[in-house]
Chain A
Amino acid sequence: MNILIILVPLALLLGFIFLFYFLWANRSGQFDDLDTPALKMLNEDEGEQHER
């Protein structure tokens, strides 16, 4: 059972890493608008504008 002393903090650390990146993504505005980026990926890349 002594292994718990290592495993529990390890599991928590892993969780903290994910939480940290979630908060970072949230703060940089990645969840502000979930609808537009989903459609934007269908566009051509920038710099390749061709008028039709």
Chain B
Amino acid sequence: MEQNKYLIHVNGITCASCIQKLEDLSNYNHNIKSAHVYLGQSVVEISANNTHPKEIVQYITRLGFKAEYLENKAELFEANKKSNREHLGRIGVAGFCAGNIMLSTIPLYSGVDPQYRAMFAYLGFILFLPVVFYSAQDFYKNAWRAIKLKSLNIDLPITVALLSGFLFSTWNLFNSEFDYLYYDSTASFLFLILSARYLLAKLQQNFIATYSDTDFGLNSFYNSDSGSKLKELLVAGDFLILQKGQTLPAKAKILSPSSEWSLSLISGESYPKDYQEGMIIESGAILISDQCEIEILERYKDSRIHNFQVKLDDIKKTKSDFVHFTDRFSHYFIFTVFMVAIGFGAFYAQKDSFQAFQRSLALLIVACPCALALGTPLAYVLGVYRAKQQGILIYKKDIFDRVLQIKNIFFDKTGTITQGQLSVQQVIPYDVELINVILNLEKVSQHPIAFALRKKYLSHYCDLGITAREIAGVGLQGEWKGNSYRFLKNIEADRMSSVLYKNNEPVLVCYFEDALRADSRKEIEKLSMLKKDIFLLTGDVSAVASETAQLCNIRNVFSDQTPEMKKELVEKYQPALMVGDGLNDALALQAAHVGVSVQSSVQMSADSSDAYLLQSGVGQISILWRISQSVRSTVYTNLGISLIYNILAGYFALTGYINPLVAAVLMPISSIAILLNTLRGVR
């Protein structure tokens, strides 16, 4: 039997019992042979046979986790695992050798008996061999790649320093010049830089969220009259039975007498809409009522929702890669160091060719690009790590630079600064007895209205023994104490309400709203203190929009926005930050300088954005600024430290004051200073 390995990303693994639950999957599902949790990456590796990975995902979802199948990621995961092990092995060897070289070098510095000097010197040489031939291999590969591409990278000077240190020391060794051995400083430098890179790679794998190949809020399978069908295989004329909560994959005609749909994904309108038999509905709508039969009118490939995906991919391709200024800086740095070394060597050679050679090499060895090679990447990854601790998942590392350029901030309304759910705003008149009648009518209803009422007035509820009947598409009906009661939806443009009729007489009106999230107002205040212009974008009509805007002090409102209009607005006001959740925000999120999606966003929006908020609400957005600032100031102070170090070390090297002992002290100090400054600086 064939066994397949699947990787499944699982959110919400927090404790020991979660791990046990997941690893015991094989006891409950005979198709699953084994499961292994990798907590750092939030990934479960599952070996199974005879089953589709999506079924496993469904199974895990039923256990109460948010799971997602990582297609095509299994190889990457294996590759990461392998390269991590290799890397750690190299570090182990380098650490062992560096430590022992240092021990064997101390007798040389402190003046051991001449008969033992050669022994310790050769011991250092032997211990350096694994470092130069095994531990440092990756640096050679990267440096070689840079040479082939005729460019400079940070591994090039490291390789030059390492190899020149090795060759120069070995040449001195064989000439019995035991005072000029750089084995210890070079080995410990390599050990430090390898360790820092390992830390970096690990953090990167764990905290930079993985991109997934999305089925963007759509299910891949739909129930049709002839079994389940892949969405890509749907053709015009197919009959589907959609379940509550499913998203429509293509334009369709409705066959059930009446049904209720949320268009929030497509248009951003907050209130659900009723559709009657025979009406045509656009793809991307989500079914709210219980079950609905539809006839598909177009292929998925021609649908609006698929069109969306194509457009998004286009923007993704055209968005230019951000070139960080430290990249440019590192080019100048490497170029300068090489030039100075060669120039000095050529100039001084007329006076003393041995000294010229030695001092130039000393410069190459001690000139340390560690601020660039270690400090900058570490600062960014630590920024990502801190952000995750504060509840922001970062998808792209360069977000920290881009956040600081932002001038305008756009908020989507429905689901972003509001809860995206109905809640009771007002009941007129407030009559406890009538409210109880309504609660009884809505007793078993799954409608958003029923949930809103139950949430607010559950304490008023006592069973009156009313049997409610549904009046399809409009409301509910029931009898109590000889009176007939009906609770019917009232269609108004700007406000959603329901009216209770007692024997055809309206006796109570109940208004609903999409309430603000608790922290929206406070966060927007904080952001306006940063002197940013704040805008509200919504697909709702202007009355609803301006009411919300007033509540949270936003002066600029754009209502009646289609997804394309949102994108254009954001582009007009660049550099802009966009916060959104729905499919209708995806284009704008992608186009914006920085896109942030909030919790419970549809997958497609989350994929289009640069960061994702892990806690509900928008309360963490200002944290992005704080972290970005600390990352930037850390990068700058690192560069400052490194500049001072390199000027001093370079000066001493060229004037001949740098001997191996000074190098052995100076080089680790500069690396460690950079590391400590970074760890302290990014908060």
Contact = CB atoms under 8 A, between A and B. Distances in A.
B315 interface: no
Interface string B45-74: 000000000000000000000000000000
B545 to A, nearest CB: 45
Given A4-B116, A8-B123, A31-B88, A39 B39 contact: yes
> Which applies to chain B's interface (DSSP): helix, strand, loop or mixed?
helix
Interface string B10-37: 0000011101100010010000000001
Nearest to B14: A39
B357 interface: no
B319 interface: no
B85 A29 contact: yes
Contacts of A23: 89, 92-93
A15 B104 CA distance: 13
Interface in B356-407: none
B92 A36 contact: no
Given A15-B100, A33-B39, A26 B19 contact: no
B89 A27 contact: yes
B555 interface: no
Tell me which of B16, B113, B119 has the highest count of chain A C-beta atoms within 10 A of its own C-beta: B16
B311 interface: no
Contact of B84 (A16, A18, A32): A32
B85 A40 contact: no
Contact of B19 (A4, A11, A40): A40
A40 B123 CA distance: 44
> Which applies to chain A's interface (DSSP): helix, strand, loop or mixed?
helix
Interface string A1-31: 1001000100110011011001100110101
A27 B16 contact: no
A19 B19 contact: no
Contact of B16 (A16, A33, A43): A43
Contacts of A35: 39-40
B37 A36 contact: yes
B81 interface: yes
Given A39-B19, A43-B19, A34 B116 contact: no
A32 B19 contact: no
B38 interface: yes
Interface string B113-149: 1001001000100000000000000000000000000
Contact of A32 (B81, B100, B113): B81
A19 B92 CA distance: 7
A27 B39 CA distance: 20
A39 B16 contact: yes
Nearest to A40: B19
B96 A19 contact: yes
Contact of A36 (B17, B19, B96): B19
Contacts of A12: 100
Contacts of A19: 92-93, 96
A16 B130 CA distance: 13
Contacts of B20: 40, 43
Given A39-B15, A39-B39, A40-B19, A32 B85 contact: yes
A22 B37 CA distance: 23
Interface in B77-99: 81, 84-85, 88-89, 92-93, 96, 99
A34 B123 contact: no
A22 B96 CA distance: 11
A14 to B, nearest CB: 11
A23 B38 CA distance: 21
Contacts of B99: 15
A1 B41 CA distance: 53
B250 to A, nearest CB: 42
B38 A33 contact: yes
22 contacts: A15-B96, A15-B100, A16-B96, A18-B96, A19-B92, A23-B93, A26-B92, A29-B81, A29-B85, A31-B85, A31-B88, A33-B39, A33-B40, A33-B41, A34-B40, A36-B19, A36-B37, A39-B15, A39-B19, A43-B16, A43-B17, A43-B20
Interface of A: 1, 4, 8, 11-12, 15-16, 18-19, 22-23, 26-27, 29, 31-36, 39-40, 42-43, 49
Given A29-B81, A39-B39, 20 more contacts: A1-B113, A1-B116, A4-B116, A11-B103, A15-B100, A19-B92, A19-B93, A26-B92, A27-B85, A27-B89, A31-B85, A31-B88, A32-B38, A33-B39, A39-B15, A40-B20, A43-B16, A43-B17, A43-B19, A49-B27
